[in-house]
Structure 1
Amino acid sequence: MKGLRTTIYKVASLKDAKEWYSKAFKTKPYFDEPFYVGFNIGGYELGLLPDESQKGDNVLSYWGVENIQEAYQELISLGATEHESPNNVGEDIMVATVRDPWENIIGIIYNPHFKLP
Structure 2
Amino acid sequence: MLQGLRTIVYYVGDLEAAKEWYKKVFEIEPYFDEAYYVGYNIGGFELGLNPDDTGYSNGNHSITYWGVENIKSAFDRLASMDVDIHEQPNNVGGDVWVGSIFDPFGNVIGLIENPAFKLS
- Is TM (by shorter chain) over 0.5? yes
Letter of the aligned partner of 2:18 in structure 1? A
1:69 and 2:107 are equivalent in the alignment: no
In the other structure, the counterpart of 2:100 is 97
Secondary structure in 2 aligned to 1:20?
A: helix
Taking structure 1 as the reference length, the TM-score comes to 0.95
Give the C-alpha shift of residue 52 in structure 1: 4.0
Q: When the two structures are aligned, how many residues end up with a matched partner?
A: 117
Structure 1: runs of 5 or more not aligned: none
Identical pairs, percent:
54
Cα distance in 2 for residues equivalent to 1:55 and 1:85? 19
Cα deviation digits, residues 36-55 of structure 1 (max 9, x gap): 00000000000000034323
In the other structure, the counterpart of 1:50 is 51
Cα distance in 2 for residues equivalent to 1:99 and 1:58? 13
Residues 81 and 100, structure 1, Cα contact 8 Å, conserved in 2: yes
Cα distance in 2 for residues equivalent to 1:111 and 1:97? 15
In the other structure, the counterpart of 1:4 is 5
Residues 63 and 109, structure 1, Cα contact 8 Å, conserved in 2: yes
In the other structure, the counterpart of 2:27 is 26
Structure 2: runs of 5 or more not aligned: none
Taking structure 2 as the reference length, the TM-score comes to 0.92
